[in-house]
A and B are shown apart, each in its own frame.
Chain A
Amino acid sequence: MSQSENRKPILRVDNLVKYFPVRAGVFRRVVAHVKAVDNISLEVYEKETLGLVGESGCGKTTAGMTILRLHEPTSGRIIMNDEDTTHLFMPYFQARKYLINTYVKPFEDLKEKAGSVDSAIKSIEDEFDVKMAKLYFEKHNGSKSSFISDLMSDREAKRKAFRRQSQIIFQDPYSSLNPRMRIKNIIAEGAIIHKVASRSEVMARVADILKKVGLSEDHMSRFPHEFSGGQRQRIGIARALILNPHLIVADEAVSALDVSIQAQILNLLNDLQEEFGLTYLFIAHDLAVVRHVSRRVAVMYLGKMVEVASKTELFENPLHPYTVSLMSAIPIPDPTKKSKRIILQGDVPSPINPPSGCRFHPRCPIAKEVCAKEEPPLQDLGNGHKVACFFPGEMKR
């Protein structure tokens, strides 16, 4: 959507990679890596919902957790509210190295190639990189040490700010609430740690938020086991809201709930988004749910982003064979609409040893020779519809 180009991305993820080491033997040597997230990029715009969808093991949850730095990214850049947050969570020397490799070195190379600072800055296309280049060349006169010490200052405060601005709602409302804490303490914990207000003010706010999520003040002193699954999920949502976050990562937030409760929670999330101007990264495996809540949808397969588009565009005109098959695999609750399904052969391959080229090629009904050899890039085919396939749109439902 052209509309989204004008909007400001609240979250931007560039080339995010997360590998988990596989250890074996007496010395726990690393024998392989699980390539959970392998070079994905995405943007989430202000006040929108980006649906991140894929089957189990595709890396969607890891992506969400890594964005929130609940996992350390292996590499990549995570920009939130127009600030690079990547180096905030690294050990000191690693952070320094990251800043030099991401900014200082490329900028110096550009300057050398372009001849002057001005033309170097002009040659940068990316808006955020331009901002960083200006910071480097103009504010810090191309001084590496002053640029770095500027970015490395107040890391603790910046980290905390990031934690305040981004929150998560977990899938399982049973294991995500501490059974030995009272509801009010569960919800207030974040606000108290971040010292946003006095204890009595925080408690007043807890009561207020409980009402907003459809519970009542009377519930404040109870324990999690006194609540049903749907109510617990409401408590999880209240906990995410207490710090007035900008971004909420909802990781399969309704998957564990019954159909009637799922509808209640989805409606609640919608209402809260309107009221508080929230931005959601909505991670789910259920395409119908994602369709209901999202403005844009990103489809992942085996650690890769295969398609990103606005909701209408994606559901009316899916271009990647995986998206097409995924949609056709979902049973439609209407017996008169029995369509012929595309049945994919085989299982999702292991992310430890993913297939060469396009990772979908062993299961793809239209795969050709090139698909096994080269990896298709994620290309923008207009209207913000991006797809990673050599033959986009060739497979029809």
Chain B
Amino acid sequence: MDKKPLLEVKGLKTYFHTDDGIVKAVDGVSFEVYSGETLGIVGESGCGKSVTSLSVMRLLDEKGEIAGGEILFDGKDIRALSDEEMRKMRGNDMAMIFQEPMTALNPVYTIGDQITEAILLHQDVDKETARKMAIDMLRKVGIPEPEKRVDEYPHELSGGMRQRAMIAMSLSCNPKLLFADEPTTALDVTIQAQILELMLELQKEYGMAIVMITHDLGVIAEMAERVVVMYAGKVVEYADVVTLFKDPKHPYTWGLMNAIPRLDEDKDVLYNIPGVVPDPLDFPKGCRFNTRCPLATDKCRTEEPPLVEIEPGHKAACWHIDRLVEMVKVSRAGEGA
């Protein structure tokens, strides 16, 4: 890939200063997003996937701090921008949709007010045009009777409709990059299917790049072209979606894929990833997955594995990539236990 990436994140470190100590929520994360593509970020709760997107948008609260690394958007260093410049960028160049549309929308303003607010901030139009644009946008995201709905409050809409309104708002200024943070997790599957379909359609129409953040491997397989797998604030594997699902190299990725029940095949026993996600205040030394990894050796407990390129476009951070076959045996041995 010799195209220039739209977004380049290099060695991003985001730390939170809490009363109990420093939480290294994101600790040296690198990835690129190219124009018009969908990048998936997958991981369990607490792996730092949401914090990554908030860092790029510079939406961290006062406890959070970008402690290191570079974030380049279109070649511009985001960390160097003033708050004013950053505000111009948000909404215009990059936008975000959240998991829970009810909490992300302001309950005391109508849908129309909230969409026109974004338009008025970023575009040189009068109120009336902005309102028309908002109605058009609502129609585009498949909200029936947009002329009426534009004057309704968030609580008057169903969960699926609210998410559509969120999408309308985030796309109203035609951003180049859209962060979607678990956009369908709170929705029912039939509504999830509608929203995913809508996002694909809008991506075709507007050509924006999407960073899809989710814990659902199904959604990743369906939507993403390339995937970042995160664990405990680190990228453990990075590959295109077909390679990742066919040939995962990191024991965590492998475990995750074998831990989920599938709709299209029967599994006698699900693979048990033993233990729990480590405490972010006290991540294990060396490889952060070593406490839960059946392949872990002394090296894993002392030295941190770098994210290395195994084959073009496929990176993994593990000392024992060649021993992954043993995982299959381990999971068999675990059967019935």
Binding site for B on A (CB under 8 A): 55-56, 228, 230-231, 258-264, 266-267, 270-271, 285-289, 291-293, 315, 325-338, 341, 343-344, 347-348
Contacts and interface: CB of A to CB of B under 8 A. Distances in A.
Interface stretch (B61-69, B186-194, B202-210): B186-194
Given A266-B261, A325-B190, A330 B218 contact: yes
20 contacts: A258-B44, A258-B277, A260-B292, A261-B276, A264-B272, A266-B270, A270-B269, A286-B261, A287-B189, A288-B262, A291-B261, A329-B190, A330-B263, A331-B192, A331-B219, A333-B221, A333-B257, A335-B245, A337-B264, A341-B197
Contact of A288 (B191, B219, B261): B261
B259 A262 contact: yes
Dominant SS at the A interface?
A: helix
Interface of B: 44-45, 158, 160-161, 188-194, 196-197, 215-223, 241-242, 245-246, 255-257, 259-264, 266-267, 269-274, 276-277, 292, 336
B241 to A, nearest CB: 4
**Most chain B C-beta atoms within 10 Å of own C-beta, residue among A55, A230, A259, A328:** A259
Contacts of A338: 221-222
Contacts of A286: 261
Sorted from nearest, which 3 A-B pairs have the closest CB atoms?
A331-B218, A292-B261, A263-B259
A191 to B, nearest CB: 28
Given A259-B215, A266-B270, A347 B158 contact: yes
A336 B241 CA distance: 9
Contacts of B189: 55, 285, 287, 326, 329-330
A237 to B, nearest CB: 16
Contacts, number: 130
Q: Which of B222, B245, B255, B261 has the most CB atoms of chain A within a 10 A radius of its CB?
A: B261
Contact of B215 (A231, A258, A292, A327): A258
A292 B267 contact: yes
B334 to A, nearest CB: 9
A334 B221 contact: yes
A159 B61 CA distance: 53
Contacts of A267: 269-270, 272
A327 B215 CA distance: 19
B272 A332 contact: no
A259 B45 CA distance: 9
Given A258-B215, A263-B272, A344 B221 contact: no
A344 B272 contact: no
Contacts of B246: 336
A332 B220 CA distance: 9
The interface centre, meaning the residue of A258, A261, A288, A289 with most chain B CB atoms within 10 A of its CB, is: A258
A347 B161 contact: yes
Quick one: which of B194, B219, B220, B255 has the most chain A CB within 10 A?
A: B194
Contact of B194 (A231, A333, A343): A343
Contact of B188 (A336, A337, A348): A348
B221 A332 contact: yes
Nearest to A322: B190
Contacts of A337: 221, 264
Most chain A beta carbons < 10 A, residue from B223, B256, B292:
B256
A55 B260 contact: no
Contacts of A231: 276
